[in-house]
Amino acid sequence: MDKNFKELGIKENICKALDIRGIVKPTEVQEKTIVPALEGKNIIAQSQTGTGKTLAYVLPMMEKINYDNKELQGLVLAPTHELTMQIHNTILDLKKDANISCNAASLVGSGNITRQIEKLKSKPQIATGSSGRVVDLIKRKKLKVHNVKFLVIDEFDKLLDKDNINDIKFIIKSLDNKVQIIMVSATTDEKTLDMAKSLMSEAEIIKVSSSDLTINSNITHEFFLCDPRKKVEFLRKVVHWERAKKTLVFVNNNYDVELTLDKLKYHNINCDSICGNISKEDRKNAIEGFRRGKVNVLIASDVGARGLDIKGITHVVNLDMPKSEKDYVHRAGRVARGENTGKCISLVVPKELSLIEKYEKIFNVKITEKVLYKGQILDYED
């Protein structure tokens, strides 16, 4: 990769806006996506978490919007409130720093629909939202999408599942048949990829890594062999020894999320949690506290952490081993964003040792065994 954003076709004012934020060199997915996107091609792009997929579609979208036309032209769909707002905020930051006169709206299911309808009266040219809320607004005839020329489906592996596919099909059917469609995700499978292809014509497939199970080489992997009853005790000692500033802890079910939270709070650990059954308001507060550093440890299930994108996470701890290779990729990918380094620590019971060996082979990484001895973390010695 040796091209800069200007050479990819991005205007000077947007390049300067990127420069303000220290973004001067396109990532691989950005370099491979921006040019065909500017050419109007339909795209299905797969690239691991933290590789810059958002800018890969936001930049060409902002280039192609006609800002003299006060109609909705760009529509971005995402599966979670957090991801939707992150995309929306990226657009707001760019338009401010690039001095672009552009109206943008966020249309998430957790938001007040009356306020959103009022916001739509300002005629946004770009809207970011959840598929359910967008469908609702279209059916109410409050969101006019006939002039949309740029549709993005972020995390399409989630939005094309059985719970969301009907909404996606309705939205696409509501748009002009010449709409340009871009779908991006960190992971996918053949069935979902075939579904994505069926929703557009002549899609260009972009796959950055040779495997969707590639892990950032800046991540250090470690594991501790421990008694399942003492995992939380291990967690407390590891967090203390590592002096971890921002730790994301994964467990496999909602009950254990709350149980772990209660145990850590009992020991005065500054922590909070997110899981699939938490209220949207509590979820929002927990994530914001973690993002701002008011909370040092955030406990999550895989569902609860979907779409979570917080800078500065230094450690990921698997209190429970992930159920699949795909989940290990998603979890580990929360650290070492971009050029940063990070650590992924797994607490395993004896029967899970085979998983360590399996993941080492699949990901081509070394997962080093560590031991706790008198409050210190040491390398394991046979």
What's the average pLDDT block by block, 10 residues per block, for the chain (382 residues)? 86 91 83 96 88 93 95 96 90 93 92 93 96 97 96 96 96 96 91 95 84 75 93 90 91 89 92 81 87 93 76 93 83 82 94 90 89 81 64
How far apart are alpha carbons 173 and 152 in whole angstroms?
A: 14
- Tell whether 213 is covered by a domain: no
How far apart are alpha carbons 59 and 52 in whole angstroms?
A: 11
Phi, psi of 299 (to 5 degrees): -100, 135
Task: Write down which residue in 175, 207, 239 finishes a domain.
Answer: 207
The model carries a pTM of: 0.63
Predicted local confidence at residue 366, as pLDDT: 93
3-state secondary structure 336-359: CCCCCCEEEEEEECHHHHHHHHHH
Same structural domain, 225 and 180: no
- The DSSP bridge partners found for residue 220 are 343
Predicted local confidence at residue 278, as pLDDT: 75
Helix (H, G, I), strand (E, B) or coil at 75: strand
**Cα dihedral value 156, 162, 167, 169, nearest 10:** 70
- Tell whether 212 is covered by a domain: no
The domain in which residue 9 lies consists of 5-207
Same structural domain, 189 and 229: no
Same structural domain, 55 and 33: yes
Side by side, the strands of the sheet bearing 247-250 are 271-274, 297-300, 247-250, 315-318, 342-348, 219-225, 367-373, 376-379
Predicted local confidence at residue 209, as pLDDT: 63
Predicted local confidence at residue 158, as pLDDT: 92
Q: For the chain, what is the domain count? A: 2
Same structural domain, 121 and 161: yes
Answer yes or no: are the C-beta atoms of 42 and 203 closer than 8 Å: yes
Task: Write down which residue in 152, 183, 207 finishes a domain.
Answer: 207
Contacts of 91 (CB under 8 A, 6+ apart): 58, 62, 102, 104, 126, 128
Predicted local confidence at residue 210, as pLDDT: 45
Alpha helices in 48-80 (DSSP H): 53-64
Same structural domain, 187 and 230: no
- Tell whether 73 is covered by a domain: yes
Same structural domain, 153 and 256: no
Same structural domain, 172 and 275: no
Same structural domain, 223 and 178: no
Half-sphere exposure of 381 (CA within 13 A, CB side): 3
- Tell whether 257 is covered by a domain: yes
Same structural domain, 195 and 304: no
- Tell whether 214 is covered by a domain: no
Same structural domain, 241 and 359: yes
How far apart are alpha carbons 95 and 62 in whole angstroms?
A: 9
Task: Write down which residue in 207, 240, 265 finishes a domain.
Answer: 207
Predicted local confidence at residue 307, as pLDDT: 65
